[in-house]
């Protein structure tokens, strides 16, 4: 018997090629409460198609996941919604709504803070008064509403990489992450902060089949704005099995901030069942401190995990400790990487450039020199251990509310109160200002002294250098001694161009005497040139022969670059597009690639059971 629909819910978020797991789980909750659902992902802040979706679907309620960086555009869109569709109830949730609930309430009927399952349940059941809803109960994750979402976005259904999550929250306190936030970080009234605090220590509504370690893990993170919520092994396996059975999928990506935290009960139970019942290899995220336990790595390998993402973030241990609250020794990365490479894990490292340098207790390298140390560290790791497979670089964005955003304000690196200039991507130019040289902890009291900061000309030079480093980072970390090439290319007083990059890459390789890897790349150049000569003419492509020769699976990288030039660049391959093409190539063809033979090994037990 088909249940009668209780209403229509439209859920929205910014567009991403990665599945928006948050609204998929919220949609699953609405499905279980007999609501009709539809989804809309907004591309490039263009809300016109969103308004058309509202007209077509005629929802009773609209909910949107908001991050700092898309908040002003969403506020404007919601104001228009309320004017054009006054009878539609509106909800805002997500990190920005959690940090700035009062501001968000000026534009929405409901503001959902922190985890939203219980609050959305109350809204859909007509049990919530309009206003700010704090988390009064941690509720079991509903299974995501992939069927309805994939009908609206078939490109996500066709993707060979799909995502899942086993828990929210994190035991660590990185200053750039919302997981480290506490109620005192909220820009809200004392009454709202008190309401948030009252939600701590509440139990999770869960199923009776949960392993006992879930209740123990769910007690972690007390005092955090985004506390732990750990899913049962049964639910995670059921979701992954549905993906395996219904949609073409070669790899699953586990979006946990720290996957495999519990190695006493949860992870062993998951490991015992995952390959037998799902059979799809998966990639996960982890901390270097967790890699010390070889038992954890062996359990992960047995479970079907073939790759891990681990964050370095800053190369200098002083910056890691004092600015990022990641006090991990350098040798931990080398020892951990060797263990992972020995077990054939594919590894991605993550790093943040353009951090607020110069206020630490001890002097550190500054600005571009600090950024280049990240390239050097990744290059050295590869030479010493064989990993990482890929290095991912981003540019720091000073989001208000998170601790590092507040640090940037307090020390004078950033002063825009509503973040109107902060992009919603990690790949744009920095919006910070930067010091000329290291100052130390007294910067708080000296920040108004204009003499200590880069002047406008030098500031723009560094911002441009940093942006260019981010574009070439995926490439130079694949090059033997690539940090030397990166420094020469970025610091030379000449415009950045394909011709320069290609020419200086070739010169760099020729100067590396007795370097076997460099010699192999030079030998490959003739083959790469002949391959490019057969392709449609793209401006600058031939100048990049040495560039492509350094990349794994060079021909596939070239094909993707040409494809992006035609599809997204009107026949032109500008630098940002080339960077995107190389990043996607390394993801799809290297980091997340599992060949037929490897998949057969992972699926052997699963197919036998089926």
* Residue 602, C-beta contacts closer than 8 angstroms, at least 6 positions apart: 275, 279, 280, 281, 304, 306, 594
Element (H, E) at 369: helix 367-385
Last residue of some domain: 154, 189, 210? 154
Beta pairing, strands 229-230 & 167-168: antiparallel
Backbone angles phi, psi at 128, to 5 degrees: -110, 135
* Residue 352, C-beta contacts closer than 8 angstroms, at least 6 positions apart: 176, 313, 314, 324, 394, 395, 396
| pLDDT number for residue 535 | 87
Whether 570 is in a domain gets the answer: yes
Helix axes 330-342, 294-303, angle to 10 degrees: 40
Inter-residue contact 258 to 287 (CB < 8 Å)? yes
DSSP readout, 235-287? HHHHHHHHHHHHS--SEEEE--SSTT--TTTHHHHHHHHHHHHT---EEEEE-
| C-alpha dist (Å) from residue 400 to 352, 442, 588 | 17, 22, 34
What is the rounded end-to-end Cα distance, in angstroms, of the chain? 30
Bond before 388 cis per omega within 30 degrees: yes
Beta pairing, strands 282-286 & 251-254: parallel
Last residue of some domain: 113, 135, 154? 154
Domain count, the chain: 2
- Per-residue pLDDT tens over the stretch 412-447: 999 887 677 776 666 779 999 999 999 999 999 999
Whether 121 is in a domain gets the answer: yes
Q: In whole angstroms, give the CA distance from residue 179 to residue 546.
A: 42
The length of the chain in residues reads: 610
Inter-residue contact 13 to 66 (CB < 8 Å)? no
| pLDDT number for residue 206 | 47
Whether 138 is in a domain gets the answer: yes
Q: In whole angstroms, give the CA distance from residue 470 to residue 426.
A: 10
Whether 56 is in a domain gets the answer: yes
Q: In whole angstroms, give the CA distance from residue 385 to residue 340.
A: 9
Whether 75 is in a domain gets the answer: yes
Whether 126 is in a domain gets the answer: yes
Tell me the two tokens of residue 550. 């350094």
Inter-residue contact 138 to 118 (CB < 8 Å)? yes
Q: In whole angstroms, give the CA distance from residue 491 to residue 466.
A: 11
Q: In whole angstroms, give the CA distance from residue 194 to residue 192.
A: 5
What DSSP state is assigned to residue 442?
T
Q: Output the furthest CA–CA distance in the chain (Å, rounded).
A: 75
Query: If you search the block for the tokens 């037990």, which residue do you land on?
Result: 605
Burial class (CB within 10 angstroms; exposed 0-12, middle 13-18, buried 19+) of 112: buried
Inter-residue contact 376 to 330 (CB < 8 Å)? no
Last residue of some domain: 111, 129, 154? 154
Helix axes 456-476, 367-385, angle to 10 degrees: 10
Inter-residue contact 337 to 387 (CB < 8 Å)? yes
Inter-residue contact 319 to 175 (CB < 8 Å)? no
Whether 118 is in a domain gets the answer: yes
Element (H, E) at 109: none
Tell me the two tokens of residue 81. 């919604």
Q: In whole angstroms, give the CA distance from residue 578 to residue 539.
A: 12
| pLDDT number for residue 610 | 47
- Per-residue pLDDT tens over the stretch 200-237: 555 544 443 455 555 555 555 556 777 788 999 999 99
Q: How many CB atoms lie within 10 A of CB 570?
A: 8
Query: ∠232-235-241 over CA atoms, to 5°?
Result: 140
Q: Which residues of the chain have pLDDT under 70?
A: 1-3, 199-223, 418, 423-426, 596-610
Query: ∠18-21-24 over CA atoms, to 5°?
Result: 120
Could you tell me the sign of the dihedral formed by the alpha carbons of 184, 185, 187, 193, in that order?
negative
Domain that holds residue 561: 497-610
| pLDDT number for residue 69 | 79
| pLDDT number for residue 198 | 72
Nearest by Cα to 547 from 564, 562, 529, 530: 529
Tell me the two tokens of residue 578. 């080339």
Tell me the two tokens of residue 270. 């998951």
Tell me the two tokens of residue 576. 């940002």
Tell me the two tokens of residue 166. 């086993």
| pLDDT number for residue 607 | 52
Q: In whole angstroms, give the CA distance from residue 393 to residue 469.
A: 9
Query: If you search the block for the tokens 């694949």, which residue do you land on?
Result: 478
Rg of the chain taking only CA atoms, in angstroms: 25
- Catalogue the E-assigned strands of 43-174: 61-65, 89-93, 110-112, 131-133, 138-139, 161-164, 167-168
| C-alpha dist (Å) from residue 283 to 274, 276, 316, 360 | 13, 17, 27, 35
* Residue 57, C-beta contacts closer than 8 angstroms, at least 6 positions apart: 8, 10, 38
What DSSP state is assigned to residue 174?
-
Whether 408 is in a domain gets the answer: no
Beta pairing, strands 346-353 & 305-313: parallel
* Residue 338, C-beta contacts closer than 8 angstroms, at least 6 positions apart: 384, 385, 386
CATH number at residue 31: 3.40.50.280
Tell me the two tokens of residue 122. 């109350």
Q: How many helices (H) and strands (E) does the chain have?
A: 27, 16
């Amino acid at each position: 018997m088909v249940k009668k629909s209780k209403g229509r819910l439209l859920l929205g978020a910014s567009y991403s090629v990665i599945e928006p797991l948050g609204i998929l789980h919220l949609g699953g909750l609405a499905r279980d409460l007999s609501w009709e659902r539809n989804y809309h992902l907004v591309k490039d802040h263009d809300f016109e198609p969103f308004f058309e979706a509202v007209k077509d679907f005629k929802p009773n309620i609209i909910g949107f996941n908001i991050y700092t960086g898309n908040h002003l555009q969403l506020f404007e869109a919601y104001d228009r919604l309320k004017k054009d569709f006054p009878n539609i109830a509106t909800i805002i949730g997500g990190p920005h709504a959690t940090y700035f609930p009062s501001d968000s309430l000026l534009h929405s009927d409901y503001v959902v803070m922190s985890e939203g399952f219980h609050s959305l349940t109350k809204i859909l059941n007509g049990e919530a008064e309009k206003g700010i809803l704090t988390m009064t109960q941690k509720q079991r994750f509903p299974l995501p509403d992939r069927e309805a979402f994939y009908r609206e976005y078939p490109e996500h259904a066709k993707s060979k990489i799909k995502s899942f999550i086993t828990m929210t929250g994190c035991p660590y306190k990185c200053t750039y992450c919302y997981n480290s936030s506490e109620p005192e970080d909220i820009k809200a009234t004392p009454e709202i902060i008190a309401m948030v605090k009252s939600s701590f220590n509440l139990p999770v509504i869960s199923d009776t089949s949960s392993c006992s370690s879930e209740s123990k893990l769910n007690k972690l993170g007390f005092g955090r704005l985004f506390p732990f919520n750990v899913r049962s092994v049964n639910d995670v396996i059921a979701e992954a099995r549905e993906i395996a059975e219904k949609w073409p999928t070669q790899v699953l990506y586990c979006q946990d901030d720290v996957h495999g935290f519990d190695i006493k009960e949860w992870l062993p139970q998951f490991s015992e069942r995952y390959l037998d019942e799902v059979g799809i290899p998966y990639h996960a995220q982890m901390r270097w401190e967790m890699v010390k336990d070889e038992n954890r790595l062996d359990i992960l390998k047995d479970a079907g995990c073939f790759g891990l993402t681990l964050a370095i973030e800053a190369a200098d241990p002083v910056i890691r400790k004092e600015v990022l609250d990641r006090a991990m020794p350098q040798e931990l990365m080398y020892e951990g990487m060797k263990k992972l490479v020995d077990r054939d894990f594919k590894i991605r490292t993550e790093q943040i450039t353009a951090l607020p340098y110069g206020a630490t207790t001890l002097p550190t390298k500054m600005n571009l020199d600090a950024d280049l140390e990240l390239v050097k560290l990744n290059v050295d790791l590869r030479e010493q251990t064989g990993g990482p497979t890929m290095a991912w670089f981003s540019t720091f964005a000073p989001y208000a509310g998170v601790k590092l955003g507040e640090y940037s304000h307090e020390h004078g690196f950033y002063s825009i109160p509503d973040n109107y200039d902060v992009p919603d991507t990690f790949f744009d130019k920095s919006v910070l200002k930067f010091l000329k040289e290291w100052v130390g902890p007294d910067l708080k009291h000296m920040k108004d002294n204009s003499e200590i900061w880069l002047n406008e000309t030098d500031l723009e030079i560094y911002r441009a250098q940093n942006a260019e480093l981010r574009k070439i980072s995926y490439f130079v970390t694949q090059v033997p001694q690539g940090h030397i090439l990166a420094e020469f290319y970025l610091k030379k007083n000449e415009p950045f161009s394909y011709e320069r990059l290609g020419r200086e890459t070739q010169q760099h390789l020729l100067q590396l005497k007795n370097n076997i890897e460099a010699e192999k790349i030079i030998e490959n150049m003739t083959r790469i040139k002949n391959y490019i000569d057969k392709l449609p003419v793209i401006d600058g492509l031939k100048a990049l022969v040495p560039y492509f020769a350094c990349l794994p699976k060079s021909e596939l990288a070239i094909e993707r670059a040409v494809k992006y030039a035609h599809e997204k660049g009107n026949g032109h391959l500008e630098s940002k597009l080339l960077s995107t093409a190389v990043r996607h190539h390394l993801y799809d063809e290297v980091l997340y690639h599992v060949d037929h033979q490897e998949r057969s090994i992972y699926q052997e037990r699963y197919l036998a059971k089926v």
